Chains A and B, each alone.
Chain A
């Protein structure tokens, strides 16, 4: 059965006039890549080189920030999409070798002809955004204060291939619960930073931006914003950052909530063998290791090499991420069941327009093998397991790892991108869990 996306666009049998493309490329200087709100600068002074992003230099002040992607960048993206060169069709009938060609072409065609970046851009600019310098690096973040004075500040950290856009639908319900089925005492002040090398944060130019360093920077950020009692939340690499914050216990951090707790069976294996409840997550880990971790392996070892193809090819960047929406969200085969095509393309466009394929992949090089590990924690920890995630550890591992596990819930719907897939359930989890630490 064709999905909605394919029905709407059809797979284009696009007859490309190369000559026309070449002429156009020569006339416009090939590419007009963007700066994100920022100053387009030509890196090498050559008209046919794509200008690189120049983000405004961040200072220790908290400086307001707006996103504006130059039209030339959006035009260039569409031109590149129109002239995409495709590989041959996969010799399988499913996603087992990656994104199927028909799905890839449909997504690219929708991106080129239907998708509207300005929609998400104005949505972002409707939120208070800032940049500030932390540990030498300019960090971008969304900061929305609740009108309720006693609101609990929460810092939400995205992962890869996510972004701040994962949280767009949960901001309003969190800051303004009374307008969204909650009570005033469930209100949050919300802080959503972009990880170093992601989105509108700076790209580190030196090695060492590992999860513990990011955790430390987040604590500085919260202090700079004047918060002396707050909580932290994250999944994926954001769970890594949040767990490291809990480990570091900066003053003011009261508790954390994880929607992908980094929980592996505590060594050594129990004498009687693993329980039935442990068998499924063990199988998930084995499957991940044998079949589903190629992306992590290449990002963890040669992010720069991978970065060339993804920085130059929007379809390359799109499929690198689209595959994960399919594999990790709660769907029966088509990621659009879990996340709208527009939402997927918002996230993909953010990576493309900020040219952050390589810089985001480098977080795997820095940290995936070293810091993304099971870590016993003494700080209060809350966990929501969204059952559609690719890894759903059992409560017993949480109890063995977190000495103050004060909340554990298994949510039947939603997957790895919980806030994006099931914003209402995600909000409910944060309200319920953090009610216990207010």
Chain B
């Protein structure tokens, strides 16, 4: 048993307890001890990927110091559930606020993130009075795992694209009895949240995005500084930064073999993104602790979701930075080390009801993970107008 067991979901909302078998933890350690590495990269930096010395150090820490049970206990300190939606078992954390008027918020992660990104912000959101906020800032928090990710089921048929996930999320909120709620996301979570904005399910009062897909379908010839900066960053992402995307969007199964079988393969596949996409000074550890990164990596490993998570790219291979115009209330926070920083000018053209715009001082693509305090403050400020 080298991975976590997940009970079958029904249409009821059933409590779920995370318990990775000790055998799986032992198996991981044995694999890490027996790791065979490639030879050292012929460059001194991360330009060809994770440098060998960093990969070795991460593997050594994972094998000898990292404690999965600590993270598992933390995850189990929240109410976890699974329920069957559109024939797929969906896992989610559902933490209700002690404040009855709290605003329900649905937080959606992306790739290579997970529910781990949001762990530090759940309590400040549900219980603001104990975390520097006011009772009227309270949220009920729902954090689902995307299909094929974490403790959600892995789709066995094609078709789980962003709009289908959005539709499932809408059913989830309905099933939980929420009649007025908001949604938030970055990365693919921003894709799902944008799709919710197009779907406009009853009850959805507004959304917040920490990555905004606001590119015009045709880029004008004369651009402002911010627009040009966004175009340049997007170009770099679509060029030098796009290998993982093109692999996962075309042959997710093939890359899945190596990542399912090799923990160092899985770890470095993700670790590289923590380097590239966080607000750091050359080392991902500047932005996230090694334990935090390994919490997320271990979640992928123990659920054996390398291939199934990569398939979200295959399902949405035509996704673009032009997410389409939205008419519902949209709030946005731009973090400085995002893959590209959306210009406000384009956001105003895309979102006809832009209720909130802020550019944060710190943080990158994994905003809630990297800067939980700032992120919580952004949620409070952004959604104040919709209460």
| Contact between chains at B258 and A310 (CB < 8 Å) | yes
| Contact between chains at B27 and A302 (CB < 8 Å) | no
> Beyond A88-B154, A207-B42, A309-B265, is A298–B247 a contact (Cβ under 8 Å)?
yes
Query: Of A20-28, A260-268, A397-405, which binds chain B?
Result: A20-28
On chain A, the residues within 8 Å of B244 by CB distance are: 298, 302, 305
Q: Is B361 an interface residue (CB 8 A)?
A: no
For the complex, give the distance between the alpha carbons of A98 and B42 in Å: 30
| Contact between chains at B33 and A320 (CB < 8 Å) | no
User: In the assembled complex, how far is the CB of residue B26 from the closest CB belonging to chain A, in whole angstroms?
Assistant: 6
Mask of A279-306 contacts with B, CB within 8 angstroms, 1/0: 0000000000001111101111111111
Q: Which of A87, A97, A204, A308 contacts B251 (CB 8 A)?
A: A97
Q: Is B157 an interface residue (CB 8 A)?
A: yes
Q: Which of B27, B30, B35, B241 contacts A26 (CB 8 A)?
A: B30
Mask of A189-208 contacts with B, CB within 8 angstroms, 1/0: 00000000000000111110
Number of B interface residues in the complex (CB < 8 A):
66
For the complex, give the distance between the alpha carbons of A315 and B262 in Å: 9
For the complex, give the distance between the alpha carbons of A255 and B276 in Å: 46
When C-beta atoms are compared, the residue in chain B nearest to A311 turns out to be B38
Q: Is B382 an interface residue (CB 8 A)?
A: no
Q: Is A10 an interface residue (CB 8 A)?
A: no
Q: Is B51 an interface residue (CB 8 A)?
A: yes
When C-beta atoms are compared, the residue in chain B nearest to A97 turns out to be B253
Q: Is B304 an interface residue (CB 8 A)?
A: yes
When C-beta atoms are compared, the residue in chain B nearest to A43 turns out to be B37
| Contact between chains at A97 and B252 (CB < 8 Å) | yes
> Which of B154, B242, B246 is packed against the most chain A CB atoms within 10 Å?
B246
User: In the assembled complex, how far is the CB of residue A204 from the closest CB belonging to chain B, in whole angstroms?
Assistant: 6
Q: Is B105 an interface residue (CB 8 A)?
A: no
Q: Is B200 an interface residue (CB 8 A)?
A: no
| Contact between chains at A294 and B249 (CB < 8 Å) | yes
On chain B, the residues within 8 Å of A19 by CB distance are: 23, 26
When C-beta atoms are compared, the residue in chain A nearest to B158 turns out to be A91
On chain B, the residues within 8 Å of A308 by CB distance are: 37-38, 50, 55, 262, 264-265, 267-269
User: In the assembled complex, how far is the CB of residue A285 from the closest CB belonging to chain B, in whole angstroms?
Assistant: 15
Q: Is B195 an interface residue (CB 8 A)?
A: no
> Beyond A26-B30, A301-B241, is A316–B249 a contact (Cβ under 8 Å)?
no
Q: Is B52 an interface residue (CB 8 A)?
A: yes
Query: Of B75-83, B133-141, B210-218, B306-314, which binds chain A?
Result: B306-314
On chain A, the residues within 8 Å of B265 by CB distance are: 308-310, 312-313, 316
Q: Is B222 an interface residue (CB 8 A)?
A: no
| Contact between chains at A294 and B251 (CB < 8 Å) | yes
> Which of B39, B50, B262, B311 is packed against the most chain A CB atoms within 10 Å?
B39
Q: Is B261 an interface residue (CB 8 A)?
A: yes
| Contact between chains at B36 and A50 (CB < 8 Å) | yes
| Contact between chains at B247 and A313 (CB < 8 Å) | no
User: In the assembled complex, how far is the CB of residue B136 from the closest CB belonging to chain A, in whole angstroms?
Assistant: 45
| Contact between chains at A204 and B42 (CB < 8 Å) | yes
For the complex, give the distance between the alpha carbons of A292 and B249 in Å: 10
Q: Is B155 an interface residue (CB 8 A)?
A: yes
For the complex, give the distance between the alpha carbons of A323 and B307 in Å: 15
Mask of B246-288 contacts with A, CB within 8 angstroms, 1/0: 1111111111111111111111110010000000000000000
On chain B, the residues within 8 Å of A2 by CB distance are: none
| Contact between chains at B307 and A312 (CB < 8 Å) | no
For the complex, give the distance between the alpha carbons of A182 and B94 in Å: 77
| Contact between chains at A304 and B49 (CB < 8 Å) | yes
Q: Which of B155, B251, B261 contacts A85 (CB 8 A)?
A: B261
> Which of A87, A292, A310 is packed against the most chain B CB atoms within 10 Å?
A87
Number of A interface residues in the complex (CB < 8 A):
69
B-facing residues in A203-224 (Cβ within 8 Å) = 203-207
On chain A, the residues within 8 Å of B268 by CB distance are: 305, 308-309
Tell me the dominant secondary structure on chain B's binding face: helix
Q: Is A358 an interface residue (CB 8 A)?
A: yes
Q: Is B43 an interface residue (CB 8 A)?
A: yes
When C-beta atoms are compared, the residue in chain B nearest to A312 turns out to be B262
Mask of A327-359 contacts with B, CB within 8 angstroms, 1/0: 000000000000000000000000000010111
Q: Which of A18, A99, A303, A313 contacts B261 (CB 8 A)?
A: A313
Q: Is A424 an interface residue (CB 8 A)?
A: no
| Contact between chains at A92 and B34 (CB < 8 Å) | no
| Contact between chains at A18 and B258 (CB < 8 Å) | no
| Contact between chains at A320 and B250 (CB < 8 Å) | no
Q: Is B176 an interface residue (CB 8 A)?
A: no
For the complex, give the distance between the alpha carbons of A250 and B261 in Å: 46
On chain A, the residues within 8 Å of B263 by CB distance are: 312
Q: Which of A30, A98, A357 contacts B255 (CB 8 A)?
A: A98
On chain A, the residues within 8 Å of B262 by CB distance are: 308-309, 312-313, 316
> Beyond A22-B26, A85-B261, is A305–B154 a contact (Cβ under 8 Å)?
no
| Contact between chains at B253 and A205 (CB < 8 Å) | no
Q: Is B3 an interface residue (CB 8 A)?
A: yes
| Contact between chains at A91 and B50 (CB < 8 Å) | no
Mask of A66-91 contacts with B, CB within 8 angstroms, 1/0: 00000000000000000011111111
For the complex, give the distance between the alpha carbons of A52 and B252 in Å: 30
For the complex, give the distance between the alpha carbons of A101 and B314 in Å: 17
Q: Is B224 an interface residue (CB 8 A)?
A: no
| Contact between chains at B34 and A313 (CB < 8 Å) | no
| Contact between chains at A87 and B307 (CB < 8 Å) | yes
Q: Which of A18, A87, A307 contacts B2 (CB 8 A)?
A: A18
On chain B, the residues within 8 Å of A31 by CB distance are: 34, 36
| Contact between chains at B34 and A307 (CB < 8 Å) | no
Q: Is A116 an interface residue (CB 8 A)?
A: no
| Contact between chains at A297 and B246 (CB < 8 Å) | yes
A-facing residues in B10-59 (Cβ within 8 Å) = 23-24, 26-27, 30, 33-43, 48-52, 55
On chain A, the residues within 8 Å of B43 by CB distance are: 207
On chain A, the residues within 8 Å of B154 by CB distance are: 88
On chain A, the residues within 8 Å of B304 by CB distance are: 85, 87-88
| Contact between chains at B39 and A18 (CB < 8 Å) | no
When C-beta atoms are compared, the residue in chain B nearest to A28 turns out to be B34
On chain A, the residues within 8 Å of B48 by CB distance are: 302-305, 362, 365
**Chain B residues within 8 Å of A, Cβ to Cβ:** 1-3, 23-24, 26-27, 30, 33-43, 48-52, 55, 154-158, 240-244, 246-269, 272, 304, 306-308, 311, 314
Minimum-distance CB pairs A-B, first 8:
A309-B265, A316-B258, A305-B49, A98-B254, A30-B34, A309-B258, A304-B49, A98-B253
Can you name 21 A-B pairs with beta carbons within 8 Å? Answer: A19-B26, A49-B35, A52-B37, A85-B2, A85-B304, A87-B307, A91-B157, A97-B254, A101-B253, A104-B257, A207-B42, A294-B248, A297-B242, A305-B269, A308-B264, A308-B267, A309-B268, A312-B35, A315-B257, A316-B259, A358-B41
